[in-house]
Copies of this chain bind each other. A is one copy, B any other.
Amino acid sequence: MENTTVRLAVRPEGEINDRTFVIASEPVPSLSEGDIRVALEYCSVDPAMRTWLSEITSYVPPMAIGELMRSGGIGEIVETKSADFQVGDKVMGRFGIQSVYSGSTLDVIKLESTNIDIRHYLGGLGGTGLAAYFGLLDVGALKNGETVVVSAAAGAVGHIVVQIARLKGCKVIGIAGGAEKCSRVIEEYGADACIDYKSEPLAERMKNLCPDGIDVYFDNVGGETLEAALDNIALGARIVICGAIGEYDNLDSVNGPRNYLNLIGKAARMQGYVNFHFAEHYETARADLIKWNQEGKLQFRDQTEQGIENFPAILKMLFAGKNNGKLLLKI
Protein backbone atom coordinates (compact mmCIF):
# COMPACT_ATOMS: atom_id res chain seq x y z
CA MET A 1 0.00 0.00 0.00
CA GLU A 2 1.38 3.37 -1.02
CA ASN A 3 0.96 6.66 0.77
CA THR A 4 1.13 10.01 -1.00
CA THR A 5 2.66 12.62 1.28
CA VAL A 6 3.19 16.38 1.23
CA ARG A 7 6.35 17.42 3.07
CA LEU A 8 8.06 20.77 3.61
CA ALA A 9 11.04 21.02 1.25
CA VAL A 10 12.18 24.66 1.38
CA ARG A 11 10.91 27.40 3.69
CA PRO A 12 9.26 30.00 1.46
CA GLU A 13 10.25 33.64 1.64
CA GLY A 14 7.06 35.46 0.79
CA GLU A 15 4.49 33.40 -1.11
CA ILE A 16 4.70 29.62 -1.25
CA ASN A 17 6.00 28.36 -4.58
CA ASP A 18 6.81 25.23 -6.56
CA ARG A 19 9.81 24.39 -4.42
CA THR A 20 8.06 24.77 -1.06
CA PHE A 21 6.73 21.21 -0.86
CA VAL A 22 7.80 17.83 -2.09
CA ILE A 23 4.99 15.46 -2.96
CA ALA A 24 6.02 11.82 -3.04
CA SER A 25 4.81 8.28 -2.78
CA GLU A 26 6.03 6.31 0.24
CA PRO A 27 5.33 2.76 1.38
CA VAL A 28 3.09 2.57 4.45
CA PRO A 29 4.74 1.20 7.60
CA SER A 30 3.42 -1.84 9.41
CA LEU A 31 1.25 -1.03 12.42
CA SER A 32 2.44 -1.31 16.00
CA GLU A 33 0.15 -2.56 18.74
CA GLY A 34 -2.56 0.05 19.44
CA ASP A 35 -2.12 1.82 16.09
CA ILE A 36 -4.64 2.47 13.36
CA ARG A 37 -4.47 2.99 9.62
CA VAL A 38 -6.79 5.58 8.09
CA ALA A 39 -7.61 6.15 4.42
CA LEU A 40 -8.00 9.92 4.38
CA GLU A 41 -11.02 11.45 2.67
CA TYR A 42 -10.75 15.16 3.50
CA CYS A 43 -8.00 17.40 4.83
CA SER A 44 -8.45 20.88 6.25
CA VAL A 45 -6.60 23.71 4.46
CA ASP A 46 -5.97 26.68 6.76
CA PRO A 47 -4.20 30.06 6.69
CA ALA A 48 -2.24 29.15 9.82
CA MET A 49 -0.39 26.55 7.73
CA ARG A 50 1.58 29.36 6.16
CA THR A 51 2.80 30.50 9.60
CA TRP A 52 4.04 27.02 10.50
CA LEU A 53 6.26 27.06 7.41
CA SER A 54 8.18 30.09 8.66
CA GLU A 55 11.04 29.79 11.09
CA ILE A 56 9.01 31.55 13.76
CA THR A 57 7.58 29.92 16.85
CA SER A 58 3.99 30.99 17.19
CA TYR A 59 1.72 28.95 19.45
CA VAL A 60 3.37 25.84 18.02
CA PRO A 61 6.98 25.30 16.94
CA PRO A 62 7.72 25.85 13.24
CA MET A 63 7.65 22.81 10.97
CA ALA A 64 10.96 21.10 10.33
CA ILE A 65 12.29 20.60 6.81
CA GLY A 66 11.04 17.22 5.66
CA GLU A 67 8.14 17.21 8.10
CA LEU A 68 4.73 16.10 6.87
CA MET A 69 2.46 19.12 6.34
CA ARG A 70 0.33 19.38 9.45
CA SER A 71 -3.42 19.32 8.98
CA GLY A 72 -6.62 18.11 10.50
CA GLY A 73 -8.36 15.42 8.49
CA ILE A 74 -11.20 12.94 8.27
CA GLY A 75 -11.09 9.40 6.94
CA GLU A 76 -12.05 5.79 7.40
CA ILE A 77 -10.22 3.10 9.32
CA VAL A 78 -8.84 0.48 6.94
CA GLU A 79 -6.72 -1.48 9.40
CA THR A 80 -6.59 -1.49 13.17
CA LYS A 81 -4.54 -2.81 16.03
CA SER A 82 -6.54 -0.73 18.51
CA ALA A 83 -9.45 -2.22 20.44
CA ASP A 84 -11.14 1.21 20.39
CA PHE A 85 -11.54 1.44 16.62
CA GLN A 86 -13.07 -0.88 14.02
CA VAL A 87 -12.43 -1.06 10.30
CA GLY A 88 -15.02 1.18 8.67
CA ASP A 89 -15.15 3.73 11.51
CA LYS A 90 -15.12 7.36 10.40
CA VAL A 91 -12.50 9.26 12.39
CA MET A 92 -11.10 12.77 12.74
CA GLY A 93 -7.57 13.64 13.82
CA ARG A 94 -4.36 15.57 13.14
CA PHE A 95 -3.44 13.23 10.29
CA GLY A 96 -1.39 15.61 8.12
CA ILE A 97 -1.60 16.06 4.36
CA GLN A 98 -1.26 12.50 3.08
CA SER A 99 -3.48 9.83 1.66
CA VAL A 100 -2.96 7.20 4.36
CA TYR A 101 -2.35 7.81 8.05
CA SER A 102 -0.63 5.08 10.03
CA GLY A 103 0.01 5.66 13.70
CA SER A 104 -1.26 6.15 17.21
CA THR A 105 -4.82 6.98 18.21
CA LEU A 106 -3.74 10.00 20.24
CA ASP A 107 -6.32 12.80 19.77
CA VAL A 108 -8.20 10.70 17.20
CA ILE A 109 -11.97 11.05 17.57
CA LYS A 110 -14.57 8.62 16.26
CA LEU A 111 -17.37 10.40 14.37
CA GLU A 112 -20.68 8.83 15.30
CA SER A 113 -23.11 8.43 12.47
CA THR A 114 -25.49 11.38 12.36
CA ASN A 115 -27.30 13.36 9.71
CA ILE A 116 -24.46 15.90 9.70
CA ASP A 117 -22.20 16.02 6.66
CA ILE A 118 -18.90 14.80 8.10
CA ARG A 119 -17.00 17.53 6.24
CA HIS A 120 -18.47 20.04 8.70
CA TYR A 121 -16.26 18.53 11.41
CA LEU A 122 -13.34 20.18 9.62
CA GLY A 123 -15.27 23.44 9.10
CA GLY A 124 -18.24 24.84 10.98
CA LEU A 125 -17.94 22.21 13.71
CA GLY A 126 -14.15 22.10 13.54
CA GLY A 127 -11.39 24.60 14.18
CA THR A 128 -12.88 27.37 12.10
CA GLY A 129 -16.38 27.18 13.61
CA LEU A 130 -14.92 27.05 17.11
CA ALA A 131 -12.64 30.01 16.30
CA ALA A 132 -15.70 32.00 15.26
CA TYR A 133 -17.63 30.95 18.36
CA PHE A 134 -14.95 31.56 21.01
CA GLY A 135 -13.59 34.63 19.27
CA LEU A 136 -16.91 36.40 19.03
CA LEU A 137 -18.60 35.28 22.24
CA ASP A 138 -15.70 34.85 24.68
CA VAL A 139 -12.84 37.04 23.48
CA GLY A 140 -15.19 39.59 21.90
CA ALA A 141 -17.68 39.32 24.78
CA LEU A 142 -20.43 40.15 22.31
CA LYS A 143 -23.60 41.68 23.69
CA ASN A 144 -26.98 41.67 21.98
CA GLY A 145 -27.62 44.65 19.77
CA GLU A 146 -24.00 45.71 19.36
CA THR A 147 -22.35 46.72 16.10
CA VAL A 148 -19.99 44.06 14.76
CA VAL A 149 -17.56 44.36 11.85
CA VAL A 150 -16.01 41.21 10.39
CA SER A 151 -13.15 41.08 7.89
CA ALA A 152 -12.79 38.18 5.43
CA ALA A 153 -16.53 37.83 6.00
CA ALA A 154 -16.99 35.23 3.25
CA GLY A 155 -14.10 33.15 4.56
CA ALA A 156 -13.97 30.02 6.66
CA VAL A 157 -14.20 31.76 10.03
CA GLY A 158 -15.78 35.00 8.84
CA HIS A 159 -19.00 33.55 7.44
CA ILE A 160 -19.68 31.80 10.75
CA VAL A 161 -18.94 34.98 12.70
CA VAL A 162 -21.39 36.96 10.56
CA GLN A 163 -24.15 34.44 11.18
CA ILE A 164 -23.57 34.11 14.95
CA ALA A 165 -23.49 37.89 15.36
CA ARG A 166 -26.71 38.05 13.37
CA LEU A 167 -28.52 35.46 15.45
CA LYS A 168 -27.41 37.35 18.57
CA GLY A 169 -29.37 40.35 17.33
CA CYS A 170 -26.39 42.46 16.34
CA LYS A 171 -25.88 44.89 13.51
CA VAL A 172 -23.32 43.14 11.30
CA ILE A 173 -21.07 44.71 8.68
CA GLY A 174 -18.91 42.38 6.61
CA ILE A 175 -15.77 43.18 4.63
CA ALA A 176 -14.93 41.01 1.62
CA GLY A 177 -13.25 41.21 -1.76
CA GLY A 178 -15.51 41.45 -4.80
CA ALA A 179 -19.19 41.90 -5.53
CA GLU A 180 -19.97 38.20 -5.56
CA LYS A 181 -18.60 37.58 -2.08
CA CYS A 182 -20.23 40.71 -0.71
CA SER A 183 -23.57 39.72 -2.07
CA ARG A 184 -23.22 36.28 -0.47
CA VAL A 185 -22.31 37.84 2.88
CA ILE A 186 -25.52 39.84 2.80
CA GLU A 187 -27.93 37.41 1.09
CA GLU A 188 -26.77 34.08 2.49
CA TYR A 189 -25.14 34.96 5.83
CA GLY A 190 -27.45 37.84 6.75
CA ALA A 191 -25.09 40.81 7.19
CA ASP A 192 -26.71 44.24 7.14
CA ALA A 193 -24.07 45.43 4.71
CA CYS A 194 -20.79 44.30 3.24
CA ILE A 195 -17.91 46.53 2.17
CA ASP A 196 -16.09 45.47 -1.00
CA TYR A 197 -12.56 46.48 -0.08
CA LYS A 198 -11.45 45.98 -3.67
CA SER A 199 -13.72 48.66 -5.08
CA GLU A 200 -14.90 50.81 -2.18
CA PRO A 201 -13.07 53.27 0.11
CA LEU A 202 -12.83 51.10 3.21
CA ALA A 203 -12.37 53.67 5.97
CA GLU A 204 -15.04 55.98 4.61
CA ARG A 205 -17.61 53.20 4.17
CA MET A 206 -16.86 51.86 7.63
CA LYS A 207 -17.42 55.29 9.13
CA ASN A 208 -20.70 55.76 7.29
CA LEU A 209 -22.00 52.31 8.14
CA CYS A 210 -21.02 52.54 11.83
CA PRO A 211 -21.81 56.14 12.81
CA ASP A 212 -21.86 55.18 16.51
CA GLY A 213 -18.63 53.23 16.24
CA ILE A 214 -17.73 49.54 16.18
CA ASP A 215 -18.30 47.55 19.37
CA VAL A 216 -16.64 44.35 18.21
CA TYR A 217 -14.21 44.14 15.31
CA PHE A 218 -13.38 40.56 14.36
CA ASP A 219 -10.09 40.64 12.49
CA ASN A 220 -8.92 37.95 10.10
CA VAL A 221 -6.70 40.08 7.90
CA GLY A 222 -4.62 42.72 9.74
CA GLY A 223 -2.94 45.57 7.85
CA GLU A 224 -4.91 48.58 6.67
CA THR A 225 -8.24 46.95 7.44
CA LEU A 226 -7.31 46.68 11.11
CA GLU A 227 -6.21 50.31 11.08
CA ALA A 228 -9.47 51.44 9.49
CA ALA A 229 -11.38 49.60 12.21
CA LEU A 230 -9.22 51.13 14.96
CA ASP A 231 -10.16 54.54 13.57
CA ASN A 232 -13.83 53.72 14.07
CA ILE A 233 -14.07 51.92 17.40
CA ALA A 234 -16.72 52.81 19.96
CA LEU A 235 -16.03 53.36 23.64
CA GLY A 236 -15.23 50.01 25.25
CA ALA A 237 -14.67 48.24 21.93
CA ARG A 238 -13.16 44.77 21.67
CA ILE A 239 -10.90 43.91 18.76
CA VAL A 240 -10.64 40.17 18.30
CA ILE A 241 -7.34 39.15 16.69
CA CYS A 242 -8.18 35.82 15.08
CA GLY A 243 -5.60 36.05 12.32
CA ALA A 244 -3.91 38.31 9.81
CA ILE A 245 -3.96 36.54 6.48
CA GLY A 246 -2.61 39.64 4.77
CA GLU A 247 0.58 39.36 6.80
CA TYR A 248 1.34 35.63 6.80
CA ASP A 249 3.53 35.69 3.72
CA ASN A 250 5.85 38.16 5.42
CA LEU A 251 5.79 37.37 9.12
CA ASP A 252 9.21 38.91 9.61
CA SER A 253 8.01 42.31 8.41
CA VAL A 254 4.46 42.59 9.69
CA ASN A 255 2.86 46.04 9.75
CA GLY A 256 1.79 46.86 13.27
CA PRO A 257 -1.35 49.01 13.55
CA ARG A 258 0.01 52.56 13.56
CA ASN A 259 -3.08 53.88 15.33
CA TYR A 260 -3.08 51.44 18.24
CA LEU A 261 -3.04 54.43 20.57
CA ASN A 262 -6.73 54.85 19.72
CA LEU A 263 -7.21 52.08 22.28
CA ILE A 264 -6.46 54.64 24.99
CA GLY A 265 -9.20 57.19 24.39
CA LYS A 266 -11.76 54.48 23.66
CA ALA A 267 -10.85 52.28 26.63
CA ALA A 268 -10.72 49.52 24.08
CA ARG A 269 -8.88 46.23 23.94
CA MET A 270 -7.26 44.09 21.30
CA GLN A 271 -7.03 40.44 22.20
CA GLY A 272 -5.78 37.26 20.60
CA TYR A 273 -6.55 33.59 21.23
CA VAL A 274 -6.19 30.08 19.91
CA ASN A 275 -9.00 27.55 20.23
CA PHE A 276 -7.16 25.27 22.62
CA HIS A 277 -7.28 28.00 25.25
CA PHE A 278 -10.99 27.12 25.39
CA ALA A 279 -10.60 23.34 25.15
CA GLU A 280 -12.82 22.68 28.17
CA HIS A 281 -15.71 24.38 26.33
CA TYR A 282 -15.50 22.51 23.01
CA GLU A 283 -18.55 20.37 23.76
CA THR A 284 -20.77 23.29 24.71
CA ALA A 285 -19.65 25.21 21.65
CA ARG A 286 -20.25 22.30 19.25
CA ALA A 287 -23.68 21.71 20.79
CA ASP A 288 -24.63 25.35 20.19
CA LEU A 289 -23.29 25.29 16.64
CA ILE A 290 -25.19 22.10 15.79
CA LYS A 291 -28.37 23.46 17.36
CA TRP A 292 -28.20 26.71 15.38
CA ASN A 293 -27.42 24.76 12.22
CA GLN A 294 -30.39 22.46 12.70
CA GLU A 295 -32.67 25.40 13.47
CA GLY A 296 -31.67 26.83 10.08
CA LYS A 297 -29.99 29.88 11.60
CA LEU A 298 -26.42 28.92 10.78
CA GLN A 299 -25.13 27.36 7.60
CA PHE A 300 -21.67 25.89 7.15
CA ARG A 301 -20.18 26.72 3.79
CA ASP A 302 -17.49 24.38 2.47
CA GLN A 303 -15.48 24.53 -0.71
CA THR A 304 -13.94 21.19 -1.62
CA GLU A 305 -10.99 20.99 -4.00
CA GLN A 306 -9.71 17.74 -5.46
CA GLY A 307 -6.35 16.02 -5.46
CA ILE A 308 -3.49 15.84 -3.02
CA GLU A 309 -1.06 16.75 -5.83
CA ASN A 310 -2.84 20.11 -6.06
CA PHE A 311 -2.29 20.94 -2.38
CA PRO A 312 0.20 23.81 -2.94
CA ALA A 313 -2.12 25.51 -5.42
CA ILE A 314 -5.11 24.95 -3.14
CA LEU A 315 -3.28 26.43 -0.15
CA LYS A 316 -2.43 29.49 -2.24
CA MET A 317 -6.13 30.06 -2.95
CA LEU A 318 -6.55 31.19 0.67
CA PHE A 319 -4.05 34.02 0.28
CA ALA A 320 -5.55 35.10 -3.01
CA GLY A 321 -8.99 35.17 -1.37
CA LYS A 322 -10.30 32.57 -3.82
CA ASN A 323 -12.13 30.41 -1.28
CA ASN A 324 -15.76 30.64 -0.29
CA GLY A 325 -16.17 29.47 3.25
CA LYS A 326 -14.08 26.63 4.57
CA LEU A 327 -11.50 25.22 2.16
CA LEU A 328 -11.11 21.43 2.09
CA LEU A 329 -8.88 19.09 0.15
CA LYS A 330 -10.53 15.87 -1.04
CA ILE A 331 -7.98 13.07 -1.17
Residues of B within 8 A of A271 (CB): 263, 267-270
Residue A179 interfacial (CB < 8 Å)? no
| Bound Cα distance A106, B255 (Å) | 44
Number of this chain's copies in the assembly equals 2
A239 to B: closest C-beta gap in Å: 9
Once the chains bind, are B253 and A258 in contact (CB under 8 Å)? yes
Residue A257 interfacial (CB < 8 Å)? yes
Residues of B within 8 A of A265 (CB): 58-59, 272, 274
A221 to B: closest C-beta gap in Å: 12
Q: A59-B265, A265-B59 in contact; A270/B274 too (CB < 8 A)?
A: no
| Bound Cα distance A101, B115 (Å) | 76
Interface string of A54-93 (1 = CB under 8 A from B): 0000110000000000000000000000000000000000
Residues of B within 8 A of A255 (CB): 256, 258
Residues of B within 8 A of A267 (CB): 271-274, 277
Q: Which of A227, A255, A266 has the most CB of B within 10 A?
A: A266
Q: A259-B256, A270-B270 in contact; A264/B59 too (CB < 8 A)?
A: yes
Residues of B within 8 A of A251 (CB): 261
Closest to A235 in B: B277
Residues of B within 8 A of A272 (CB): 261-269
Which of A158-166, A240-248, A283-291 is found at the contact surface with chain B?
Answer: A240-248
Number of chain A residues whose Cβ lies closer than 8 Å to a Cβ of chain B: 34
Once the chains bind, are B264 and A241 in contact (CB under 8 Å)? yes
Q: Which of B59, B222, B253, B263 contacts A241 (CB 8 A)?
A: B263
Residue A109 interfacial (CB < 8 Å)? no
Closest to A277 in B: B267
Interface string of A159-198 (1 = CB under 8 A from B): 0000000000000000000000000000000000000000
Residue A254 interfacial (CB < 8 Å)? yes
Once the chains bind, are A254 and B261 in contact (CB under 8 Å)? yes
| Bound Cα distance A52, B247 (Å) | 33
A100 to B: closest C-beta gap in Å: 31
Interface string of A99-124 (1 = CB under 8 A from B): 00000000000000000000000000
A285 to B: closest C-beta gap in Å: 16
A139 to B: closest C-beta gap in Å: 8
Q: Which of B241, B268, B277 contacts A261 (CB 8 A)?
A: B241
| Bound Cα distance A222, B256 (Å) | 12
A247 to B: closest C-beta gap in Å: 7
Interface residues of A (CB under 8 A from B): 58-59, 222, 227, 235, 241-244, 247, 251, 253-274, 277
Q: Can you pick out 8 interface pairs between chain A and chain B where the beta carbons lie within 8 Å of each other? A: A227-B256, A255-B258, A257-B260, A260-B270, A265-B274, A267-B271, A267-B272, A269-B271
- The 6 A-B pairs of least Cβ separation, nearest first, read A256-B256, A59-B265, A263-B272, A264-B272, A269-B271, A256-B257
